[in-house]
Amino acid sequence: MLRYSSPDPASRQASEEACALVNEDQAAFTARSDFWPLLKAVKEACQEISLHFEARKYLDKLFLEFKQFGHGTLQPVQIHEYLERRNYIDGMRRKYNQRIREDSGGLWFSLDELASVKQHDLDRFGKDPEKHDMRFVRFSAADSLVVYRNASESATRKRMYVGNVNNLSQNAKLFKNIVVERDLNARLLGYESHAAYRLEKRLMKTPAQVESLLADLHDRLLARGQHDMNLLMDLKRKESRESIKITEDDVNAIFPWDYWYYARLAEQHLHVDPEQVAEYFPLQHVISGMLEMFSEFLQLCFCPISQEQLDGSAWHDDVQAYAVWDGREASKGRFIGYLYMDLLSRDNKYKGNQNVNLQCGYLKNDGSRVYPATLLMCSFPPPAPSACTFLKHSQIMSLFHGKKHRKIQLNTQELSRSELGHGIHDLLARTNYVAFHGHRSPPDFAEALSVMLEKWCWMKPELKRLGLHYTSTDLHLKEKWLRAHPGEDLPPERIPDDTIERLIKGRQVTRSLWYLRQLVYAHFDMKVHHPRSHTELRNMDSTKIFNDLLEKLWLVRAPQPQDQGYPHADLGHLVSGYDAGYYSYLRRVDLNLTIKND
């Protein structure tokens, strides 16, 4: 955890080194040829013995891990080769992700270039003490999405995008090396690809099954996606008639940097202003409301831990923590675990949203239980002085159920691997072994669970409960609003019913394009992890493949070659456990959603 969030460089480095040692030790254990015959003998003997289902599951898991290390098929020298290459891959993965976490790049824009960006966002952007009309916009999701959604100048949005996809260019070579070395190891073990190797432990067992799922979803989504893209192009053409800055070439295409801007305009056509809606969802009020909802639904008690109690045990002053207790009558007062929250973006912190297990729950040998601790880690923008952080509706959805995210190129802050829903799963899990605790289940199962909570974000009573205008949460904020709006009445304390109804009605606006965009990532994942041959992979132009997928699947116009950059230089999912697994975010669509094309 400290490598993701500690403000202390020495702590981050020590955490990186400790993780490397743990991974190397686990790999060295699984490489032990002397343990393999013992494991085989135990597995064979246990065929005739009645074992607890979790014990048998653990034995099967351990057996498969040793099998996937080459035991039973490879010679000792080949197992050593596999181990050396695996450790080499892990080192590259750590470097790749460390660059993403510690990146502080961005671009300077003039206030004219940032026309239409809200004042509260301009206030929190970096400032040049000598050039008061300049603002520094980081490549983080918190900042770049503001530009993509709000900057009315297409050139500004394009410069943000091109800068973003070129920002971590040094990671592109690392990414290529990682997928090439993975493919070599998989083929050494006798698998046709790295995807075939990884999927053996997933619910979908073969690349063919995954590719069939992706093809089916594409067929079901394409017609609606084309309809929605035409809607965005109509909005762009309308704007072009009012602006000489959009060329004839540009007007007939939506580029990647255009999507968020015109998607926002499409929402506004339903009289839904995401910025105004966000004013009803101040971060701390939303967190409190969500915990109340989980408390009632699951009969849990979330007891805040004071800052004094956290002193010395928390890694940053922003950290909040709760002790969680069972509220059911039959087991009232039983301890559940600890929930930590670290919600605001800062330098050298993980750039997206994720749930991090701090301690797994399990049974000790004496029968006593170790209780879990889990961390909700987000990168919401810190407020400007005398202000507060607002959440857009999509960000509330990410808090509830979680989808993976890195940076705002094509995924949005809607995407985060596992937020509060996964954190609650982590807390409530009761297993005998660490190996099966919480969301240590296959990702194509764990991600399907999270979507069930999404419905709360589209239910009027729940939105009404969460929606409280920020001026009602703090007297100073109220006074500041009144000074900025002389003679005007305060906004309603609770989010108006008609606003909620329009928000719910707008759920389907460009929704198909959101899923088609995820198909880009899922297909790219399979392209690099399931090539037809190792030679094909070595010769693969990852940038071209990615941009071809943009046009084919997402229906946007790919940038010119000089503007394409290295979008795969920031795909942390594919080097952090979701390799040959990005389809998991779409499998839950297949399991939980009915896609309508009318």
The CATH number assigned to the domain holding 529 equals 1.10.1370.10
Q: Is the domain of 203 the same as that of 308?
A: no
545 is in which domain, residue-wise? 170-270+509-592
> Sign of dihedral through CA atoms 578, 583, 587, 593?
positive
Collect all residues with Cβ–Cβ distance below 8 Å to 209 and sequence separation of at least 6: 199
Q: Is the domain of 387 the same as that of 355?
A: yes
> Where does the pLDDT of residue 448 fall: very low under 50, low under 70, confident under 90, or very high at 90 and above?
low
User: Is pLDDT at 425 greater than 90 in this prediction?
Assistant: no
- For residue 64, the tally of other CB atoms under 10 A from its CB is 12
pLDDT at residue number 412: 31
Q: Is the domain of 114 the same as that of 232?
A: no
The residue-averaged pLDDT of 287-314 equals 92
pLDDT at residue number 590: 55
Q: Pairing between strand 373-380 and 335-344?
A: parallel
- For residue 215, the tally of other CB atoms under 10 A from its CB is 12
Last residue of some domain: 57, 76, 95? 76
For 139-167, what is each residue's pLDDT tens digit?
988 899 999 999 999 999 999 999 999 99
Beta bridge partners of 357: 374
Is residue 94 domain-resident?
no
Structure-block tokens of residue 63: 């057996």
Q: Pairing between strand 300-304 and 126-128?
A: unpaired
Collect all residues with Cβ–Cβ distance below 8 Å to 413 and sequence separation of at least 6: 141, 142, 145, 352, 353, 379, 392, 394, 395, 398, 405
Q: Is the domain of 34 the same as that of 141?
A: no
Is residue 109 domain-resident?
yes
Q: Is the domain of 396 the same as that of 287?
A: yes
Q: Is the domain of 224 the same as that of 368?
A: no
Q: Is the domain of 354 the same as that of 478?
A: yes
142 within 8 A of 379, measured Cβ to Cβ: yes
167 within 8 A of 139, measured Cβ to Cβ: yes
CA distance 212 to 522: 12
CA proximity to 73, closest of 35, 24, 26, 36: 36
Burial 569-598 (b: 16+ CB within 10 A, else e): bbbbbbbbebbbbbbbbbbbbeeeeeeeee
455 alpha-carbon distance from chain centroid: 19
Backbone angles phi, psi at 90, to 5 degrees: -60, -40
CA distance 105 to 190: 42
pLDDT at residue number 269: 84
pLDDT at residue number 451: 63
CA distance 199 to 399: 28
> What length does the chain have?
598
Q: Is the domain of 161 the same as that of 179?
A: no
Is residue 86 domain-resident?
no
For 362-409, what is each residue's pLDDT tens digit?
999 999 999 999 999 988 888 887 788 989 888 887 776 544 333 333
Last residue of some domain: 459, 493, 508? 508
pLDDT at residue number 188: 98
Is residue 91 domain-resident?
no
Is residue 60 domain-resident?
yes
pLDDT at residue number 588: 65
User: Is pLDDT at 537 greater than 50 in this prediction?
Assistant: yes
Q: Is the domain of 485 the same as that of 349?
A: yes
The residue-averaged pLDDT of 488-500 equals 94
Is residue 98 domain-resident?
no
pLDDT: which is higher, 590 or 524: 524
When divided into structural domains, the chain yields a total of 4
User: Is pLDDT at 288 greater than 60 in this prediction?
Assistant: yes
The lowest-confidence range among 176-185, 189-198, 448-457, 501-510 is: 448-457
**Residue 193, exposed/middle/buried by CB under 10 A (0-12, 13-18, 19+)?**
buried
User: Is pLDDT at 597 greater than 50 in this prediction?
Assistant: no
Last residue of some domain: 508, 539, 567? 508
Q: Is the domain of 544 the same as that of 474?
A: no
pLDDT at residue number 6: 87
Q: Is the domain of 328 the same as that of 434?
A: yes
Collect all residues with Cβ–Cβ distance below 8 Å to 267 and sequence separation of at least 6: 273, 274, 506, 509
pTM: 0.87
The lowest-confidence range among 80-89, 170-179, 455-464, 537-546 is: 455-464
Is residue 523 domain-resident?
yes
Q: Is the domain of 524 the same as that of 494?
A: no
pLDDT at residue number 411: 36
Is residue 93 domain-resident?
no
CA proximity to 435, closest of 361, 369, 364: 361
CA distance 550 to 569: 16
CA distance 462 to 414: 19
Backbone angles phi, psi at 65, to 5 degrees: -60, -45
CA distance 439 to 429: 9
CA proximity to 589, closest of 496, 511, 526: 511
CA distance 67 to 56: 16
Residue 497: CATH number of its domain: 3.40.390.10
Mean pLDDT across the chain: 89
Structure-block tokens of residue 309: 């109690």
345 within 8 A of 142, measured Cβ to Cβ: yes
pLDDT at residue number 455: 74
**Residue 478, exposed/middle/buried by CB under 10 A (0-12, 13-18, 19+)?**
middle
CA distance 60 to 69: 14
